[in-house]
Structure 1
Amino acid sequence: MAQDTGRQPELRCNVTYASTTIQLRTTLQTDPYAVPETDIEGRFRFKAVMTGKPGKIDYIKLYAYLQKDQGDIPIHQASYTGPFAVSPQVYKLTPNNQLYAGELERILQYECDLYNPPR
């Protein structure tokens, strides 16, 4: 990804199911429970959480859920703890992850980049 000019950390995830890709951008939060999940085509939900305060990212957590009539089923959680590299460039945080879930083995893919500029 290209260089950025903002001064706040930002987590950028591309989440793909079938032929739809959703771009999610997450900024620093103090309350991880206040971060909403994103519906992915009525089949999955995805949640990206980056907690900390200005100048310091404490952790990043990524969650994926399979949507079922009986309720959402957690299928994936990835946790990243610091220290996180400070860079004026956006850099890759995760590989391209492929999650298989449900009776039909539906595939959710995601990858995330981190922008963590110097203060």
Structure 2
Amino acid sequence: MAAQAVPLLKCHFEVNAARSEHSFSPTHDPYAVRSVDLENRFRFKAVVLGNDTQVDTINLYVSYQTERQPMVLQHVKFAAPVALKQPSPDALTGRVALYSPFLGKELLYGCALHEVAP
């Protein structure tokens, strides 16, 4: 019996020419998911709800880091997304550009839901 592929959300980011990539696995507990710091300016949280075989929903949250606390800039929800074997880097979200409300700093990101061999 062949092992079943596992879904994995991969996102790439660019903040003022600094690039990074992060991967997010499915979970049953959305409250346990931590946000990712992006150059001390933005925070990104991907809540991938599902199991090792399928994803039920993906919620993406982007916040701008103010001096006091994070300020939500975007929340996007994807219902029953399909994992792909060889998706383009931004197959799920497209290329997204967000700007900080005070200094006009730019965050570019894109995500794809991959089907990876275990």
Q: 2:37 and 2:63 mapped to 1: Cα distance?
A: 10
1:9/1:27 contact within 8 Å kept: yes
Q: Deviations over 1:55-93 (max 9, x none)?
A: 2211011111101112110001111001x3354333511
1:88/1:118 contact within 8 Å kept: no
Letter in 2 for 1:23: E
SS in 2 for 1:33: helix
Shift of 1:108: 0.8
Letter in 2 for 1:43: R
Q: 2:39 and 2:16 mapped to 1: Cα distance?
A: 9
Match of 2:74 in 1: 76
Match of 1:107 in 2: 106
Match of 2:47 in 1: 49
Match of 1:8 in 2: 6
Aligned counterpart in structure 2 of residue 34 of structure 1, from 32, 35, 40 = 32
Aligned counterpart in structure 2 of residue 89 of structure 1, from 86, 100, 105 = 86
Letter in 2 for 1:22: S
Q: % of aligned pairs identical?
A: 29
Shift of 1:51: 0.8
SS in 2 for 1:116: strand
Letter in 2 for 1:62: L
1:62 matched to 2:60? The reply is: yes
RMSD between aligned residues: 2.0
- Say if 1:86 and 1:99 are closer, same or farther in 2 by CA, change over 3 A: closer
Structure 1, unaligned runs of 5 or more: 1-5
